[in-house]
Amino acid sequence: MQRVANASVAVEGAIIAEINAGLLILLGIEDADSLEDIEWLSRKITNLRIFNDEDEVMNKSLLDTKGDVIVVSQFTLHAATKKGNRPSYIKAARPEVAIPLYEQFIQKLEKDLGKKVGTGVFGADMKVALVNDGPVTISIDTKNKE
């Protein structure tokens, strides 16, 4: 996820989601992911203190700032590059597994935030634009809950 000053997603030249300050979440789903992972991830993201307070210290959460969110499905996050020069996406979940979890994550995030979340289009060729604020970019792996 990236803390952004603004972000947008376009499909076929049309902007389908646009936000000001908040988070752009690039969500990669693998076969081993479950509803439990989705619920944990939503709670973690909404409560993670990565927004500045009055003293410019990262001490506020998305809930505190009432920031906006865009969620974009991105299977390439699971690229394995150990062998050769062509990435392997063997760990990425197939659409029949990924789409329901992607949709459940969006629903859970909307419930936790109490507001609508912008999205991309699963499987579409999307153009994502953003101004990373900080820059702050954080990777969270639900299989490594540290």
Write the CA distances from 40 to 76, 90, 105, 140, integer angstroms: 22, 24, 10, 11
Domains for the chain: give ranges and CATH numbers.
2-137 (3.50.80.10)
pLDDT at 78: 79
| pLDDT of 77 strictly over 90 | no
Judge whether 132 and 4 are in contact, CB under 8 Å: yes
- Report the C-alpha gap between 133 and 128 in whole angstroms: 15
For tokens 């909404």, the residue is 46
pTM: 0.93
Judge whether 65 and 48 are in contact, CB under 8 Å: no
The set of catalytic residues is 76
What digits encode the pLDDT tens for the residues 36-63?
999 999 999 999 999 999 999 999 999 9
Judge whether 45 and 2 are in contact, CB under 8 Å: no
